[in-house]
Amino acid sequence: MSFPDKLASAVAINQSLLCVGLDPQPELMPVKDVVRFNRAIIEATQDLVCAYKPNLAFYEALGLTGLKALEKTLSFIPPHIPVIGDAKRGDVGHSAQAYARALFDGFGFDAVTLNPYLGYDSIEPFLSYTGRAVFLLCRTSNPGGADIQCLQVSSEGKGSVPLYLAVAKRLAEWAGNGNMGLVVGATYPEELRQVRRLCPTLPILVPGIGAQGGDLELSLHYGLDTSGAGLILTSSRAIIYASHTRDFPQQARLAALELREQINSLRPHSSST
């Protein structure tokens, strides 16, 4: 099943636009075994999400043990739920080919996040994987993103626009097979509105609705497509670290359920299970 189809199916089955980030930080985890921690989170939330999103940095930081934990974690995720590898890769063509093999062949991710700074030939190797998808960083949720993403650039004789809008416009031109999307943070809903205007049908991965304090209501208002979907709203710390004691699976479930219900209450054409 292709990523768009797999995502649409999970959205429908779980009545959810919520993606849970699996970002293990040993100093915050109530149990120190990453595999045990992740498995408990997955089992507690798998009927509430449309996707999971492991951030590779947290596994790479633990060396080979962390990468093995990631591999084991992926085996616990039900096959009907898509997994987005938050890798933020971006490199020249031959290196991009190696990254694509690692992420798609090695780990089996359904989609990955990429940095578009090196242009189309750094993205093309990922697009050669039929049924997989890429999400390109556009307007990220961190404050420092404005240092580069809001720089004014020329726009084909039509004056200047912020770089993030130029990225969105270029992606809209590249996208054609339903295998591309953008990353736009909930911390910048006005920018999300502008991106959605340029890319009315593309999926948008939206970080920042949890610990970063993004505006959920405005993100949904500006970011949903005409079908009442088109967004993947991701939360990590606010869910997986809802408790620092042994009841963490139950508290993660409650946090995920509350957020899913909040999202659905703001969605048109939605009913909660």
Q: For position 256, what pLDDT does the model report?
A: 97
* Local confidence band at 272 (pLDDT 50, 70, 90 cut-offs): very low
* Local confidence band at 176 (pLDDT 50, 70, 90 cut-offs): low
Determine which of 18-27, 99-108, 213-222 has the lowest per-residue pLDDT on average. Answer: 213-222
Distance CA 24, CA 22 (A): 6
Mean pLDDT in residue range 246-271: 91
Q: Which residue has the higher pLDDT, 147 or 214?
A: 147
- Let me know if 88 is a catalytic residue: yes
**Are the C-beta atoms of 188 and 139 separated by less than 8 Å?**
yes
Residue 268's Cβ-side half-sphere holds a number of Cα atoms within 13 Å equal to 9
Q: Which residue has the higher pLDDT, 220 or 272?
A: 220
Domains of the chain, start order: 3-265 (3.20.20.70)
What DSSP line would sit under 24-69, residue for residue?
--TTT-SSS-HHHHHHHHHHHHTTT-SEEEEBHHHHHTTHHHHHHH
Q: For position 74, what pLDDT does the model report?
A: 98
- Active-site option among 68, 72, 88, 169: 88
Residue 39's Cβ-side half-sphere holds a number of Cα atoms within 13 Å equal to 11
Residue pLDDT, tens place only, 97-134: 999 999 999 999 999 999 999 999 999 999 999 999 99
The mean of the pLDDT values for the chain is 93
Q: Which residue has the higher pLDDT, 68 or 227?
A: 68
Q: For position 250, what pLDDT does the model report?
A: 98
Residue pLDDT, tens place only, 139-161: 999 989 999 999 999 877 668 99
Residue pLDDT, tens place only, 24-66: 999 999 999 999 999 999 999 999 999 999 999 999 999 999 9
Residue 198's Cβ-side half-sphere holds a number of Cα atoms within 13 Å equal to 23
Phi, psi (deg, nearest 5) at residue 21: -85, 130
What residues form DSSP beta bridges with 233?
18, 206
